[in-house]
Structure 1
Amino acid sequence: MVASSISLTWASTTISSNKLNVPHLSESLQQTQTALPANTNTTTVKCSRETATYEESHHKRRALLLGAGALTATLFPSSPLLAQEKPANYDAFVDKIDGYQYYYPSDWREFDLTGYDSAFKDRYLQLQNLRVSFIPTEKKDVHDLGPMEEVITDLVTKIIAAPNQYVDIADMQERSEDGKNYYTVEFTLSSRNFSASSFVTIAIANGRYYTLKVGANDRRWKRVRNKLKVVADSFKVLDI
């Protein structure tokens, strides 16, 4: 694994949403892949009947997947992730249809979050959560996006952060597993009355740009950081 660290702090002024919802994320990340401009305009996306039907079908499929035992090793004994020793107090989520997998804290529960393919949150502290999304891409690997420092900086400051938030990037890391490359960033977003920290891991495979984000309220970050780092480092893409 190749890792590098960097600490940057500045105010973000380039985007109007601090959520990675798919319509906006899709537009922004596609621009990032071809040198994202200084300012990114938002676009209103209308949801057609076909889109609504797709989302309904997706949620039904997700319910069926998780209903049969939360996708345990018994169901998927050949999974590379599940072939390893599972950390204590974590469960494995494997989606062989969409091509990814990760560990999540076993006391978290799944919830529906519009624009995300899967999402889990703490049963009592809902600000502690994870979510996974993906968009189409013609790139083959995260290296095709550019140098890690540039890709991560653009992702956090121009796509994730809101205009009124200050960004502090604490660390960036790269890892390679089974021929796939991953970028992971640790960062904090702060505004006047609120601050939150997160890990984001990105990867490219199957013609898709995958993003996993896991985070918590900044006041609890020191207590849960290592726990959430396990989630970020466990994210893997599968060939489909």
Structure 2
Amino acid sequence: MAALQNSPALQKRLLLSATSSSSNKVALQGPACFPGFYYRRRNFPPQTRAEASPSTQQACFLERSGRRQAVVLGVIAPCLSLSQANSASFAAEAIKGFLAVSDKKDGYSFVYPFGWQEVIVQGQDKVFKDVIEPLESVSINTIPTSKQDIRELGPPQEVANALIRKVLAPPSQKVKLVEALERDVDGKAYYTFEFTAQAPNFTRHALGAITIGNGKFYTLTTGANERRWEKMKDKLHTVVESFKISAA
């Protein structure tokens, strides 16, 4: 699996061209956001570093302007420090076989399989992954937005397709959207979707959930190697279905 080079000056470039108000479609332009990154397991010595999978998700938000002009946002997300980690409250086992995380500062919560380790990834708010199977992971990212509802960006299939092809998978990978749905949780709209991303030597089968609230665009993604999909799919669906935002 090709390794990405760690970039000390990580930037996510977000480009959007507004379309007509009648179509209400998201227009995605320019290159996808695939900055380099590394991860390290917590409580391991500095030399115990490994390069992260190129398919680890990097979420970007594309904000439309009201005057059909491109809006470019640069975001530099530093590695999460131990002091920052203290702002999140980690709950005990919530569902058998899972652990729960609740971040009151950013207003989100979800569960992840017991045994996954928290790792530090530049540009991601939180990442948990299996250290033996590197494609088995969950990551969450937030981007500021002036939008109020995910439905402002368009229908589920359109938004999911754009996000996958321009952000969540490298251009070199062949992607396929399997399904995209809208679901309601406590009166808040969420888009959930399933997709595959095929690289020369592996295929990742992934699930995602996106929503808007608290002035933020939230992106949660999880997945596994295609060869382990049947074994992992129920757990991954549990992760996505547990994702919920609350007042920050």
TM range (shorter): 0.7 to 0.9
1:99-110 aligned within 5 A: 99-110=107-118
Name the residue aligned to 2:48. none
Name the residue aligned to 1:61. 83
The alignment status of 1:130 with 2:138, answered yes or no, reads yes
Structure showing greater relative contact order (alpha-carbon pairs closer than 8 Å, 6 or more residues apart): 1
Is the Cα–Cα contact under 8 Å of residues 118 and 127 in structure 2 kept in the other structure? yes
Write the distance in 2 (CA, Å) between the matches of 1:142 and 1:115: 22
Give 1:72's match in structure 2, choosing from 91, 115, 138: 91
Query: Greater share of helix residues, 1 or 2?
Result: 1
Write the distance in 2 (CA, Å) between the matches of 1:165 and 1:111: 24
Query: Partner amino acid for 2:14?
Result: E
Secondary structure of the corresponding residue to residue 55 of structure 1? coil
Task: Show structure 2 runs of 5+ residues with no match.
Answer: 5-9, 19-23, 36-74
Q: Percent identity?
A: 34
CA displacement, residues 19-73 of structure 1 (integer Å, 9 cap, x when unaligned): xxx833x615x56897324x4136899xxxxx98x836x422343356xxx6226
Give 1:191's match in structure 2, choosing from 172, 175, 199: 199
Is the Cα–Cα contact under 8 Å of residues 190 and 209 in structure 2 kept in the other structure? yes
Q: Aligned Cα RMSD in Å?
A: 2.8
The alignment status of 1:35 with 2:26, answered yes or no, reads yes
1:1-240 aligned within 5 A: 23-24=11-12, 27-28=14-15, 35-37=26-28, 39-41=29-31, 55=78, 58-65=80-87, 71-72=90-91, 86-240=94-248
Is the Cα–Cα contact under 8 Å of residues 183 and 201 in structure 1 kept in the other structure? yes
Is the Cα–Cα contact under 8 Å of residues 65 and 71 in structure 1 kept in the other structure? no
Secondary structure of the corresponding residue to residue 11 of structure 2? helix
Aligned length: 196
Task: Show structure 1 runs of 5+ residues with no match.
Answer: 1-16, 46-50, 74-81
CA apart distance, 1:109 = 1.3
Is the Cα–Cα contact under 8 Å of residues 90 and 103 in structure 1 kept in the other structure? yes
Is the Cα–Cα contact under 8 Å of residues 127 and 137 in structure 2 kept in the other structure? yes
Name the residue aligned to 1:10. none
Secondary structure of the corresponding residue to residue 198 of structure 1? strand
Secondary structure of the corresponding residue to residue 133 of structure 2? coil
Write the distance in 2 (CA, Å) between the matches of 1:43 and 1:152: 16
CA displacement, residues 59-109 of structure 1 (integer Å, 9 cap, x when unaligned): 22343356xxx6226xxxxxxxx9xxx321111100000110001112111
Write the distance in 2 (CA, Å) between the matches of 1:42 and 1:163: 8
CA pair 207-174 structure 1, distance change in 2 beyond 3 A? same
Is the Cα–Cα contact under 8 Å of residues 31 and 166 in structure 2 kept in the other structure? no
Normalised by the length of structure 1, the TM-score is 0.72
Query: Partner amino acid for 2:31?
Result: N
